[in-house]
Chains A and B, each alone.
Chain A
């Protein structure tokens, strides 16, 4: 069976190139092959002032079977590359967990030496990531996806495969999951004026139910905590291609701020893909630490900050992307008062307060409505 899709063919070509390179090293050059994989992680993440986003640095990791420690990794990468090639050849798609199972095997002959090929799915996820880096092709092009997590509601029409999905679901009762097989997703039409991203699905449900979408002609999105690639890419596309302003609301604590910043500046673990995932002109509107006091969140609804929170806030204060006065002030408030707060805390003021008072006030302040 061979792939028909032209882009699939291109990916397969790249994987074959990788394989033939290794084979050539072994048979012709008679040297140990080396895979030069760009390093992913905090120590190879660079803040680009020009792009206003986190980008990957120049460090690479040499994966070669010349060292005992790296033989397993080396073979894992090649086995994964081959599995991806097979997946594309068969014109199928798989989740990352599916890839883990597809490549599962045991290594070694006797009982004592036998070991697992993968220690956990984490290893196979890393291998997929390495193939992304080695071929410069994003995971979605491999037809390898993860479980959908992000949600979207509002006047936007998607086509997934051949099916048209109108996310302006009239009943206000449900949201559409953002499909992770982005290759098959296309945005047909967007009628909204702006896109509002919130941290959690519970908050999204509340806002949707209040009729916010209809009243302000907005698209609501959430990544349900840490946003996956599909959610981030959806926001990016809406911003860049459809010119829709993006506003973000997350909990008033360092973790919530961290999640909001994923959309705005990117993350360390996906720094190599920032170009595709980050919308730099998104605005993080809330919930700010000063909102806790400006909106009189009662004491019972506030949470005490842990030491870890404070450390994280101190770290954040030093980050170049939080250097403007506004954020420095906010972080100082947090460090001084040591209190954090969830968006859900607004429910203490009534179930409609968040959607009908807080959010409109915030949006009005930046002139969006």
Chain B
């Protein structure tokens, strides 16, 4: 990390020294107009085009929270430190919309000499390497610094204790937006009582931002923090706002394996990567063969030889090749089959950790209370414990980059409705859900994979004002998707939704279908229970009507009749529930139904035999006239005389 910061910072320093050049060109024949060609500093560019980094009006605070949490987590995970992060977002000046945001972590800190550039200079990062990290661009933190400088007169305040130095520094910084350079207002080494950190290392940043915070954005911030805690259950997160303080406990001490830096995969080679690899070996007089073997993964000596001979280029020192020759090598690489790229540089969440996050899902709840005619809301934490969770993952190659798809499902228990959670490289994605590949995946995988029908689900899980067409959204289920890759196919620069590229969706669907199968037994069981319940309820409602109809008509003890009917209904409902529970083999059910119908026929047969007997005895009436009724039923067109001569009975007598 140290080296890349230096390199990057060095390059930037050079480029920002550039001056503006002025040129005049003639336009048409209508006179001369001067066109100025300016070199813009990175900082100025990003401030002018803040939307590129997601910093748009409404979302400034959301993005700030997001960037700070991401940096803090990265800084801890790189050295396998169990994170302890406290974030605070408080209104400083209501009339002018000034917010004080601060974030503190126990990560590795930043060495004092790198702090100013790391905080203020755009495109300066320790993360420009081929491995999965949350931040990649070296823009987020700088954006906060630039906005703070642009909109307020407050400096950024930073406390940092890096592992390398062991001593603590305090900085007050602002950004020179015109030149992309930090302005150091204060820099001092902390001693004695001034010391802020107790631990081995740590980093704290405090900034003032001018922003509006709409209720929607506020909820998104809360969601962001909650979702972060789900995929980082090993982190302690303390979040302070004007509405109160909430704390997310550490639920596991297992941390994901940190990602390792890896060499690029040859299938992903282009002229730029190849030239960069050659430059790295500039002083060693290495052959192209050597460069290829040492700069790319999955490229053996034999394979390199094969590539060079196929490319039909002369054998000389690597730096002697011109671009025409190199492009031939690239073209050959594009057509050659290599082993699948390794995934050491990826850091998936893993089953253990995601399960820990899912089994006690923390969410922030704003409790509204009315106080002196003012509605105040207090934050509190609600822990959702589902009845079951399942996890599945797939490793695949999307856009030549290895990609890990992880999917989790939490079902039932405290979870009361459907929700889709999306993560990319452990970052929660909250906006643009509609256009995300995860949303597509969910709507394309049918829930009949769970062995239940849409109709059943809609009947049993209605309510809660759900008017969705998709059956899965009726289920009390939370679906989590995590995609990690060094190159996530984001749809927009705001990094909020993932495009359905290559075979990504196919793998996601496979994951989801697998999970559906895993949770199906439980859901089916619950569905049966719900069905049984609603059926029993139906009996409870209708039995009294039937009982009163019968007991008004004939002499019968309504109490006993009701008991008998209720008992029968209960047995019937539970009996059905039991028989359907183990009806994996349809044959069984058919048998049961056959038995049932035999029983029914037996009953009928008994009635008829009863009737015959009663006829013989000549005591049909005492036998409740069952016989008579049955015979009538069999041929009811043989009606009695009463019907036909309604009109003319008396008339005909005449």
Contacts and interface: CB of A to CB of B under 8 A. Distances in A.
A369 interface: no
Contact of B546 (A7, A30, A75): A75
Given A136-B632, A241-B652, A233 B646 contact: yes
A16 B626 CA distance: 11
Contacts of A133: 636
A75 B542 contact: yes
Contacts of B552: 82, 85-86
Interface residues of A, number: 66
Interface in B381-438: none
B549 interface: yes
B647 A68 contact: no
A108 B537 CA distance: 8
Given A27-B561, A38-B636, A112 B463 contact: yes
Contact of B639 (A15, A241, A275): A275
Interface residues of B, number: 50
B474 to A, nearest CB: 16
B545 A16 contact: no
B572 A66 contact: yes
A47 interface: no
Interface of B: 463, 534-535, 537-539, 541-542, 545-546, 548-550, 552-554, 556, 560-561, 564-565, 568-569, 572, 599-600, 603, 624-626, 628-629, 632-633, 636-637, 639-640, 642-652, 654
A19 B644 contact: no
20 contacts: A17-B625, A23-B550, A26-B568, A36-B633, A68-B538, A71-B539, A72-B542, A75-B546, A79-B546, A82-B548, A108-B541, A112-B463, A182-B647, A185-B646, A186-B648, A234-B647, A241-B645, A241-B647, A241-B648, A242-B648
A237 B647 CA distance: 7
B642 A29 contact: no
Nearest to B633: A36
Interface string A1-24: 000000100100011111111111
Nearest to B645: A241
B648 A21 contact: no
B642 A141 contact: yes
B613 to A, nearest CB: 16
Interface in A210-240: 233-234, 237
Contacts of A7: 642
A117 interface: yes
Contacts of B650: 159, 186
Interface in A94-139: 105, 107-109, 112-113, 117, 133, 136-138
A31 B569 CA distance: 9
Contacts of B564: 26-27, 30
Contact of A79 (B545, B561, B642): B545
B548 to A, nearest CB: 8
Interface in A153-196: 159, 182-183, 185-189
Contacts of B565: 26
A113 B541 contact: yes
Contacts of B648: 186-187, 237, 241-242
Interface string A60-97: 00000110100110110011011001100000000000
A241 B645 CA distance: 9
A56 interface: yes
Nearest to A110: B537
A186 B553 contact: no
Contacts of B545: 75, 78-79, 105, 107, 117
A140 interface: yes
Contact of B636 (A31, A105, A108, A136): A136
Nearest to B463: A112
A79 to B, nearest CB: 5
Given A36-B633, A65-B569, A15 B651 contact: no
A188 B651 contact: yes
A34 interface: yes
